[in-house]
Structure 1
Protein backbone atom coordinates (compact mmCIF):
# COMPACT_ATOMS: atom_id res chain seq x y z
CA UNK A 1 0.00 0.00 0.00
CA UNK A 2 1.25 3.49 -0.77
CA UNK A 3 -0.12 7.02 -0.75
CA UNK A 4 1.36 10.40 -1.65
CA UNK A 5 0.58 13.77 -0.15
CA UNK A 6 0.41 16.97 -2.15
CA UNK A 7 3.40 18.60 -3.80
CA UNK A 8 4.97 20.80 -1.12
CA UNK A 9 6.94 23.99 -1.72
CA UNK A 10 10.09 24.10 0.43
CA UNK A 11 11.70 27.28 -0.84
CA UNK A 12 12.37 29.03 -4.14
CA UNK A 13 12.94 26.43 -6.89
CA UNK A 14 12.84 23.50 -4.41
CA UNK A 15 9.84 21.25 -3.77
CA UNK A 16 9.08 17.80 -2.35
CA UNK A 17 6.45 15.09 -2.16
CA UNK A 18 6.16 12.98 0.99
CA UNK A 19 4.77 9.48 0.50
CA UNK A 20 3.55 6.79 2.88
CA UNK A 21 4.58 3.26 1.97
CA UNK A 22 3.69 0.11 3.95
CA UNK A 23 5.76 -3.03 3.50
CA UNK A 24 5.34 -6.14 5.67
CA UNK A 25 3.54 -4.20 8.36
CA UNK A 26 6.14 -1.43 8.52
CA UNK A 27 5.23 2.14 7.63
CA UNK A 28 7.91 4.16 5.85
CA UNK A 29 7.64 7.83 5.00
CA UNK A 30 9.64 8.67 1.89
CA UNK A 31 10.52 12.07 0.45
CA UNK A 32 11.02 12.81 -3.23
CA UNK A 33 12.70 16.13 -4.04
CA UNK A 34 12.16 18.27 -7.12
CA UNK A 35 14.43 21.14 -8.20
CA UNK A 36 13.58 23.71 -10.85
CA UNK A 37 16.75 23.95 -12.96
CA UNK A 38 15.63 26.77 -15.22
CA UNK A 39 14.35 26.85 -18.81
CA UNK A 40 11.35 24.84 -17.62
CA UNK A 41 13.46 21.78 -16.71
CA UNK A 42 13.01 19.77 -13.50
CA UNK A 43 15.39 17.49 -11.60
CA UNK A 44 13.68 14.72 -9.61
CA UNK A 45 15.57 12.80 -6.90
CA UNK A 46 14.65 9.54 -5.14
CA UNK A 47 11.28 8.99 -6.83
CA UNK A 48 8.32 7.92 -4.75
CA UNK A 49 4.81 6.93 -5.84
CA UNK A 50 3.52 9.31 -8.50
CA UNK A 51 -0.24 9.22 -8.78
CA UNK A 52 -2.26 11.25 -11.24
CA UNK A 53 -2.61 14.34 -9.05
CA UNK A 54 1.09 14.34 -8.13
CA UNK A 55 2.10 13.88 -11.76
CA UNK A 56 -0.08 16.80 -12.83
CA UNK A 57 1.27 19.02 -10.04
CA UNK A 58 4.87 18.26 -11.01
CA UNK A 59 4.04 18.80 -14.67
CA UNK A 60 2.68 22.24 -13.84
CA UNK A 61 6.16 23.22 -12.61
CA UNK A 62 7.87 22.20 -15.85
CA UNK A 63 9.19 19.18 -17.72
CA UNK A 64 11.09 16.52 -15.77
CA UNK A 65 14.42 16.22 -17.57
CA UNK A 66 16.38 14.24 -14.96
CA UNK A 67 15.33 11.34 -12.71
CA UNK A 68 17.92 10.37 -10.11
CA UNK A 69 18.25 7.11 -8.17
CA UNK A 70 20.82 8.45 -5.69
CA UNK A 71 21.96 5.23 -4.03
CA UNK A 72 21.67 1.46 -4.21
CA UNK A 73 18.57 1.36 -1.99
CA UNK A 74 16.19 3.98 -3.40
CA UNK A 75 15.12 2.80 -6.85
CA UNK A 76 11.76 1.05 -6.46
CA UNK A 77 9.70 3.83 -8.03
CA UNK A 78 12.12 4.74 -10.83
CA UNK A 79 10.18 2.76 -13.49
CA UNK A 80 6.96 4.50 -12.45
CA UNK A 81 8.65 7.91 -12.70
CA UNK A 82 10.06 7.07 -16.13
CA UNK A 83 6.63 6.00 -17.39
CA UNK A 84 5.15 9.23 -16.10
CA UNK A 85 7.96 11.37 -17.55
CA UNK A 86 9.21 9.41 -20.58
CA UNK A 87 11.51 12.14 -21.91
CA UNK A 88 13.58 12.28 -18.71
CA UNK A 89 17.10 10.88 -18.50
CA UNK A 90 17.46 8.36 -15.65
CA UNK A 91 20.67 8.46 -13.59
CA UNK A 92 21.62 5.61 -11.26
CA UNK A 93 24.17 5.35 -8.48
CA UNK A 94 27.32 3.39 -9.39
CA UNK A 95 26.51 -0.31 -9.41
CA UNK A 96 22.74 0.08 -9.59
CA UNK A 97 22.48 -0.91 -13.25
CA UNK A 98 24.28 -4.15 -12.38
CA UNK A 99 22.20 -4.76 -9.26
CA UNK A 100 18.90 -4.08 -11.05
CA UNK A 101 19.49 -4.47 -14.81
CA UNK A 102 15.79 -4.05 -15.61
CA UNK A 103 15.80 -0.43 -14.44
CA UNK A 104 15.68 2.15 -17.26
CA UNK A 105 19.04 3.69 -16.31
CA UNK A 106 20.64 5.71 -19.09
CA UNK A 107 23.62 7.15 -17.21
CA UNK A 108 25.63 6.39 -14.10
CA UNK A 109 25.91 9.23 -11.60
CA UNK A 110 29.33 10.79 -11.49
CA UNK A 111 31.05 13.98 -10.44
CA UNK A 112 30.49 16.62 -11.59
CA UNK A 113 26.74 16.17 -12.03
CA UNK A 114 26.35 19.01 -14.51
CA UNK A 115 22.64 19.67 -14.83
CA UNK A 116 22.57 23.44 -14.22
CA UNK A 117 20.37 25.25 -11.74
CA UNK A 118 23.19 25.72 -9.24
CA UNK A 119 23.41 22.00 -8.49
CA UNK A 120 26.58 20.19 -7.33
CA UNK A 121 27.15 16.55 -6.34
CA UNK A 122 29.49 14.49 -4.20
CA UNK A 123 29.81 10.70 -4.18
CA UNK A 124 30.08 9.42 -0.59
CA UNK A 125 32.97 6.99 -0.80
CA UNK A 126 33.73 4.12 1.56
CA UNK A 127 30.25 2.58 1.48
CA UNK A 128 30.10 0.34 -1.61
CA UNK A 129 26.84 -1.27 -0.43
CA UNK A 130 25.11 2.13 -0.55
CA UNK A 131 27.12 4.32 -2.97
CA UNK A 132 25.09 7.41 -2.18
CA UNK A 133 25.39 10.70 -4.01
CA UNK A 134 24.41 13.86 -2.14
CA UNK A 135 23.62 17.18 -3.77
CA UNK A 136 23.97 20.86 -3.02
CA UNK A 137 21.35 23.31 -4.27
CA UNK A 138 23.31 26.52 -4.05
CA UNK A 139 20.44 29.00 -4.68
CA UNK A 140 18.60 27.78 -1.56
CA UNK A 141 21.67 26.73 0.48
CA UNK A 142 20.21 23.23 0.77
CA UNK A 143 21.89 19.83 1.13
CA UNK A 144 19.78 17.18 -0.59
CA UNK A 145 20.51 13.67 0.64
CA UNK A 146 18.69 10.36 0.87
CA UNK A 147 19.99 7.97 3.54
CA UNK A 148 23.07 9.92 4.66
CA UNK A 149 21.09 11.14 7.67
CA UNK A 150 17.61 10.66 9.08
CA UNK A 151 15.47 12.86 11.30
CA UNK A 152 12.50 10.71 12.29
CA UNK A 153 10.52 12.42 15.03
CA UNK A 154 7.15 10.68 14.61
CA UNK A 155 5.89 7.54 12.87
CA UNK A 156 2.74 5.42 12.76
CA UNK A 157 2.69 1.87 14.02
CA UNK A 158 4.45 -0.14 16.70
CA UNK A 159 6.61 -2.10 14.24
CA UNK A 160 7.83 1.08 12.57
CA UNK A 161 8.81 2.69 15.85
CA UNK A 162 10.53 -0.54 16.88
CA UNK A 163 12.51 -0.58 13.62
CA UNK A 164 13.73 2.99 14.02
CA UNK A 165 14.67 2.37 17.64
CA UNK A 166 16.62 -0.74 16.61
CA UNK A 167 18.71 1.17 14.07
CA UNK A 168 19.16 4.17 16.36
CA UNK A 169 17.09 6.66 14.36
CA UNK A 170 14.11 7.26 16.64
CA UNK A 171 13.48 10.91 17.52
CA UNK A 172 16.96 12.12 16.67
CA UNK A 173 18.89 13.56 13.78
CA UNK A 174 21.94 11.72 12.47
CA UNK A 175 23.28 8.55 10.93
CA UNK A 176 21.76 5.24 11.89
CA UNK A 177 23.53 2.03 12.88
CA UNK A 178 23.05 0.56 9.41
CA UNK A 179 25.01 3.41 7.85
CA UNK A 180 27.81 3.09 10.37
CA UNK A 181 27.96 -0.69 9.98
CA UNK A 182 28.12 -0.41 6.20
CA UNK A 183 31.02 2.06 6.25
CA UNK A 184 33.90 -0.13 5.05
CA UNK A 185 36.53 2.56 4.52
CA UNK A 186 36.32 5.25 7.17
CA UNK A 187 39.13 7.33 5.69
CA UNK A 188 37.38 7.49 2.31
CA UNK A 189 34.02 8.29 3.92
CA UNK A 190 35.61 10.98 6.07
CA UNK A 191 37.27 12.60 3.04
CA UNK A 192 33.95 12.68 1.17
CA UNK A 193 32.08 14.17 4.10
CA UNK A 194 34.75 16.82 4.63
CA UNK A 195 33.97 17.95 1.10
CA UNK A 196 30.24 17.97 1.89
CA UNK A 197 30.85 20.09 4.99
CA UNK A 198 32.75 22.58 2.83
CA UNK A 199 29.48 23.43 1.08
CA UNK A 200 27.74 26.48 2.53
CA UNK A 201 24.36 24.89 3.30
CA UNK A 202 21.89 25.72 6.04
CA UNK A 203 18.93 23.45 5.24
CA UNK A 204 19.01 19.63 4.92
CA UNK A 205 16.31 17.61 3.18
CA UNK A 206 16.47 13.82 3.39
CA UNK A 207 14.34 10.83 2.45
CA UNK A 208 13.29 9.90 5.99
CA UNK A 209 12.25 12.38 8.64
CA UNK A 210 11.65 16.06 9.20
CA UNK A 211 13.46 18.66 7.12
CA UNK A 212 16.19 20.54 9.00
CA UNK A 213 15.39 24.14 8.13
CA UNK A 214 18.34 25.91 9.76
CA UNK A 215 21.71 25.04 11.25
CA UNK A 216 22.06 21.98 9.04
CA UNK A 217 25.79 22.11 8.50
CA UNK A 218 26.53 22.34 12.23
CA UNK A 219 24.09 19.52 12.97
CA UNK A 220 25.63 17.30 10.31
CA UNK A 221 29.12 17.98 11.63
CA UNK A 222 28.02 17.06 15.17
CA UNK A 223 26.35 13.85 13.96
CA UNK A 224 29.64 12.76 12.35
CA UNK A 225 31.62 12.80 15.59
CA UNK A 226 31.82 8.98 15.46
CA UNK A 227 33.67 9.26 12.13
CA UNK A 228 35.82 12.34 12.76
CA UNK A 229 36.66 11.61 16.38
Structure 2
Protein backbone atom coordinates (compact mmCIF):
# COMPACT_ATOMS: atom_id res chain seq x y z
CA UNK A 1 0.00 0.00 0.00
CA UNK A 2 1.40 3.38 -1.01
CA UNK A 3 2.49 5.85 1.61
CA UNK A 4 2.19 8.80 -0.71
CA UNK A 5 0.38 11.77 0.74
CA UNK A 6 -0.83 13.07 -2.62
CA UNK A 7 -2.37 10.90 -5.32
CA UNK A 8 0.18 11.20 -8.15
CA UNK A 9 -0.46 12.39 -11.66
CA UNK A 10 0.14 9.71 -14.26
CA UNK A 11 2.14 8.66 -16.13
CA UNK A 12 5.19 9.25 -13.96
CA UNK A 13 8.57 10.26 -15.42
CA UNK A 14 7.33 10.11 -18.99
CA UNK A 15 7.24 13.10 -21.41
CA UNK A 16 3.64 13.95 -22.34
CA UNK A 17 3.03 16.33 -25.22
CA UNK A 18 1.41 19.60 -24.16
CA UNK A 19 1.61 21.25 -27.58
CA UNK A 20 4.03 21.17 -30.50
CA UNK A 21 7.63 21.12 -29.17
CA UNK A 22 6.62 21.36 -25.51
CA UNK A 23 6.05 18.53 -23.02
CA UNK A 24 5.34 18.03 -19.33
CA UNK A 25 6.87 15.33 -17.13
CA UNK A 26 5.19 14.32 -13.88
CA UNK A 27 7.75 13.66 -11.16
CA UNK A 28 7.87 11.93 -7.76
CA UNK A 29 6.29 13.51 -4.73
CA UNK A 30 8.48 15.63 -2.46
CA UNK A 31 7.71 17.16 0.92
CA UNK A 32 8.25 20.58 2.47
CA UNK A 33 7.67 21.88 6.00
CA UNK A 34 4.76 24.14 6.81
CA UNK A 35 3.45 24.85 10.31
CA UNK A 36 5.48 21.93 11.62
CA UNK A 37 3.95 19.46 9.15
CA UNK A 38 5.47 17.65 6.18
CA UNK A 39 3.39 18.70 3.19
CA UNK A 40 3.28 16.24 0.26
CA UNK A 41 3.91 17.98 -3.02
CA UNK A 42 3.64 16.65 -6.60
CA UNK A 43 6.35 17.82 -9.01
CA UNK A 44 6.25 18.63 -12.70
CA UNK A 45 8.94 19.48 -15.25
CA UNK A 46 8.38 21.36 -18.48
CA UNK A 47 10.47 20.50 -21.54
CA UNK A 48 10.61 22.74 -24.61
CA UNK A 49 12.44 22.02 -27.85
CA UNK A 50 14.27 25.08 -29.15
CA UNK A 51 14.84 25.99 -32.79
CA UNK A 52 18.42 24.71 -32.63
CA UNK A 53 17.18 21.27 -31.55
CA UNK A 54 18.20 21.66 -27.91
CA UNK A 55 15.90 20.80 -25.02
CA UNK A 56 15.14 23.42 -22.35
CA UNK A 57 14.31 21.75 -19.01
CA UNK A 58 12.35 23.85 -16.51
CA UNK A 59 12.35 22.74 -12.87
CA UNK A 60 13.87 19.30 -13.52
CA UNK A 61 12.25 16.38 -11.72
CA UNK A 62 14.31 13.52 -10.27
CA UNK A 63 16.92 12.22 -12.68
CA UNK A 64 16.55 8.66 -13.98
CA UNK A 65 18.34 6.95 -16.84
CA UNK A 66 15.00 5.92 -18.35
CA UNK A 67 13.70 9.50 -18.42
CA UNK A 68 17.00 10.72 -19.84
CA UNK A 69 16.71 8.17 -22.64
CA UNK A 70 13.13 9.23 -23.34
CA UNK A 71 14.23 12.85 -23.64
CA UNK A 72 17.09 11.86 -25.94
CA UNK A 73 14.46 10.79 -28.47
CA UNK A 74 13.15 14.38 -28.47
CA UNK A 75 16.47 16.22 -28.65
CA UNK A 76 19.64 16.97 -26.71
CA UNK A 77 19.45 18.55 -23.27
CA UNK A 78 20.95 22.03 -23.73
CA UNK A 79 19.56 24.18 -20.90
CA UNK A 80 18.59 23.46 -17.30
CA UNK A 81 16.48 25.94 -15.34
CA UNK A 82 16.22 26.27 -11.55
CA UNK A 83 13.43 28.87 -11.68
CA UNK A 84 13.03 29.95 -8.06
CA UNK A 85 14.25 29.84 -4.49
CA UNK A 86 13.05 26.26 -3.92
CA UNK A 87 13.27 24.41 -7.24
CA UNK A 88 16.94 23.51 -7.63
CA UNK A 89 17.64 20.14 -5.96
CA UNK A 90 17.44 18.05 -9.14
CA UNK A 91 19.45 20.40 -11.35
CA UNK A 92 22.92 19.12 -10.48
CA UNK A 93 22.28 15.43 -11.34
CA UNK A 94 20.95 16.49 -14.76
CA UNK A 95 23.88 18.87 -15.23
CA UNK A 96 26.37 16.13 -14.41
CA UNK A 97 24.70 13.85 -16.96
CA UNK A 98 24.77 16.64 -19.57
CA UNK A 99 28.04 18.49 -19.08
CA UNK A 100 27.60 20.62 -22.20
CA UNK A 101 24.26 22.02 -21.05
CA UNK A 102 23.84 25.61 -19.88
CA UNK A 103 22.56 26.03 -16.33
CA UNK A 104 20.45 28.98 -15.17
CA UNK A 105 19.23 29.47 -11.61
CA UNK A 106 17.47 31.89 -9.33
CA UNK A 107 20.20 34.21 -7.95
CA UNK A 108 19.75 32.96 -4.37
CA UNK A 109 20.41 29.30 -5.27
CA UNK A 110 23.36 29.62 -7.67
CA UNK A 111 25.86 28.85 -4.90
CA UNK A 112 23.71 26.00 -3.58
CA UNK A 113 23.83 24.27 -6.96
CA UNK A 114 27.62 24.59 -6.84
CA UNK A 115 28.39 24.45 -10.55
CA UNK A 116 30.94 26.80 -12.11
CA UNK A 117 28.81 27.21 -15.25
CA UNK A 118 25.62 28.14 -13.37
CA UNK A 119 24.35 31.61 -14.35
CA UNK A 120 21.94 33.71 -12.30
CA UNK A 121 18.51 34.20 -13.84
CA UNK A 122 17.51 37.80 -14.40
CA UNK A 123 14.90 39.21 -16.74
CA UNK A 124 17.41 39.72 -19.57
CA UNK A 125 19.27 36.41 -19.23
CA UNK A 126 19.68 34.51 -22.52
CA UNK A 127 18.34 37.16 -24.94
CA UNK A 128 18.99 34.77 -27.85
CA UNK A 129 16.00 32.73 -26.64
CA UNK A 130 13.67 35.71 -26.30
CA UNK A 131 11.95 34.91 -29.59
CA UNK A 132 11.10 31.41 -28.30
CA UNK A 133 10.85 31.66 -24.52
CA UNK A 134 10.45 35.02 -22.83
CA UNK A 135 10.94 35.54 -19.13
CA UNK A 136 10.43 37.95 -16.27
CA UNK A 137 12.14 37.72 -12.88
CA UNK A 138 10.19 38.67 -9.76
CA UNK A 139 12.12 39.46 -6.58
CA UNK A 140 10.04 39.30 -3.38
CA UNK A 141 13.02 39.44 -1.05
CA UNK A 142 12.89 36.08 0.71
CA UNK A 143 11.40 34.50 -2.43
CA UNK A 144 12.48 34.91 -6.02
CA UNK A 145 11.00 33.37 -9.16
CA UNK A 146 11.44 33.71 -12.90
CA UNK A 147 8.28 33.10 -14.92
CA UNK A 148 8.51 32.00 -18.55
CA UNK A 149 6.36 32.30 -21.66
CA UNK A 150 6.62 29.78 -24.51
CA UNK A 151 5.59 31.92 -27.44
CA UNK A 152 4.75 29.24 -30.01
CA UNK A 153 2.22 27.46 -27.79
CA UNK A 154 1.21 30.64 -25.92
CA UNK A 155 1.93 28.85 -22.63
CA UNK A 156 2.87 30.53 -19.37
CA UNK A 157 5.21 28.39 -17.25
CA UNK A 158 4.94 29.07 -13.50
CA UNK A 159 6.63 27.36 -10.57
CA UNK A 160 5.31 28.45 -7.15
CA UNK A 161 3.76 31.84 -7.86
CA UNK A 162 0.58 30.00 -8.83
CA UNK A 163 -0.47 26.52 -7.71
CA UNK A 164 -3.55 24.38 -7.26
CA UNK A 165 -3.20 21.41 -4.94
CA UNK A 166 -6.30 19.44 -5.81
CA UNK A 167 -8.18 18.80 -2.58
CA UNK A 168 -9.41 15.40 -3.71
CA UNK A 169 -5.81 14.17 -4.14
CA UNK A 170 -4.63 15.10 -0.62
CA UNK A 171 -4.88 11.98 1.53
CA UNK A 172 -4.38 13.46 5.00
CA UNK A 173 -7.30 15.43 6.44
CA UNK A 174 -5.10 17.71 8.64
CA UNK A 175 -2.88 18.56 5.67
CA UNK A 176 -5.93 19.09 3.47
CA UNK A 177 -7.37 21.54 6.00
CA UNK A 178 -4.04 23.36 6.37
CA UNK A 179 -3.58 23.80 2.63
CA UNK A 180 -7.18 24.84 2.19
CA UNK A 181 -6.81 27.47 4.91
CA UNK A 182 -3.70 28.77 3.14
CA UNK A 183 -5.53 29.06 -0.17
CA UNK A 184 -3.47 26.41 -1.96
CA UNK A 185 -6.33 24.05 -2.91
CA UNK A 186 -8.16 26.26 -5.36
CA UNK A 187 -10.58 25.92 -6.99
CA UNK A 188 -8.47 28.45 -8.90
CA UNK A 189 -4.69 28.73 -9.11
CA UNK A 190 -3.16 31.30 -6.76
CA UNK A 191 -0.01 32.01 -4.70
CA UNK A 192 0.30 30.14 -1.42
CA UNK A 193 0.14 32.04 1.84
CA UNK A 194 3.95 31.95 2.22
CA UNK A 195 4.38 33.81 -1.06
CA UNK A 196 1.61 36.29 -0.27
CA UNK A 197 3.41 37.07 2.99
CA UNK A 198 6.72 37.54 1.18
CA UNK A 199 5.02 39.94 -1.24
CA UNK A 200 3.78 42.31 1.47
CA UNK A 201 6.91 44.45 1.23
CA UNK A 202 7.45 43.89 -2.50
CA UNK A 203 4.07 44.59 -4.04
CA UNK A 204 5.50 46.80 -6.80
CA UNK A 205 7.86 44.05 -7.95
CA UNK A 206 5.05 41.51 -8.00
CA UNK A 207 2.68 43.92 -9.73
CA UNK A 208 5.23 44.58 -12.49
CA UNK A 209 5.74 40.86 -12.99
CA UNK A 210 2.01 40.19 -13.16
CA UNK A 211 1.56 42.98 -15.71
CA UNK A 212 4.21 41.37 -17.90
CA UNK A 213 2.50 37.99 -17.61
CA UNK A 214 -0.79 39.53 -18.74
CA UNK A 215 0.88 41.42 -21.60
CA UNK A 216 2.08 38.11 -23.01
CA UNK A 217 -1.60 37.10 -23.32
CA UNK A 218 -1.10 33.37 -22.67
CA UNK A 219 -3.78 30.85 -23.51
CA UNK A 220 -2.79 28.17 -20.97
CA UNK A 221 -0.58 27.81 -17.90
CA UNK A 222 1.68 24.94 -16.87
CA UNK A 223 2.02 24.82 -13.09
CA UNK A 224 4.75 22.92 -11.27
CA UNK A 225 2.29 21.84 -8.57
CA UNK A 226 -1.25 20.63 -9.06
CA UNK A 227 -3.80 21.03 -11.82
CA UNK A 228 -2.67 23.08 -14.82
CA UNK A 229 -4.78 25.84 -16.38
CA UNK A 230 -6.20 24.75 -19.71
CA UNK A 231 -8.36 27.78 -20.62
CA UNK A 232 -8.85 31.48 -19.85
CA UNK A 233 -5.26 31.93 -18.67
CA UNK A 234 -5.34 35.73 -18.50
CA UNK A 235 -8.51 35.71 -16.40
CA UNK A 236 -6.86 33.15 -14.12
CA UNK A 237 -3.81 35.39 -13.64
CA UNK A 238 -5.97 38.42 -12.94
CA UNK A 239 -8.03 36.47 -10.41
CA UNK A 240 -4.93 35.04 -8.68
CA UNK A 241 -3.30 38.44 -8.20
CA UNK A 242 -6.29 40.72 -7.77
CA UNK A 243 -5.11 41.47 -4.22
CA UNK A 244 -1.91 43.04 -5.60
CA UNK A 245 -3.66 45.71 -7.67
> What is the TM-score when the length of structure 2 is the normalising length?
0.84
CA distance in 1, matches of 2:222, 2:206: 20
C-alpha change, 1:143 and 1:22, in structure 2 (3 Å) is: closer
Q: Give the root-mean-square deviation of aligned CA atoms.
A: 2.2
Contact 1:90 1:104 (C-alpha < 8 Å) held by counterparts: no
Contact 2:147 2:156 (C-alpha < 8 Å) held by counterparts: yes
Structure 1: where are the runs of 5+ without partners?
none
Query: Which among 124, 146, 157 is matched to residue 171 of structure 2?
Result: 157
CA distance in 1, matches of 2:19, 2:55: 15
- 1:176 aligned to 2:192? yes
Structure 2: where are the runs of 5+ without partners?
33-37
Contact 2:84 2:144 (C-alpha < 8 Å) held by counterparts: yes
CA distance in 1, matches of 2:43, 2:161: 14
CA distance in 2, matches of 1:176, 1:90: 27
* 1:166 positional shift: 4.1
Contact 1:82 1:88 (C-alpha < 8 Å) held by counterparts: yes
- 1:207 aligned to 2:224? yes
CA distance in 1, matches of 2:127, 2:102: 13
- SS of the equivalent of 2:148 reads strand
Contact 2:147 2:159 (C-alpha < 8 Å) held by counterparts: yes
* 1:104 positional shift: 5.6
Number of paired residues?
226
Q: How does 1:46-125 map to 2 (within 5 A)?
A: 46-98=59-111, 100=112, 102-103=114-115, 106-112=118-124, 113-116=126-129, 118-125=132-139
CA distance in 2, matches of 1:110, 1:71: 11
- SS of the equivalent of 1:43 reads strand
Query: Which among 190, 201, 217 is matched to residue 234 of structure 2?
Result: 217
C-alpha change, 1:96 and 1:105, in structure 2 (3 Å) is: farther
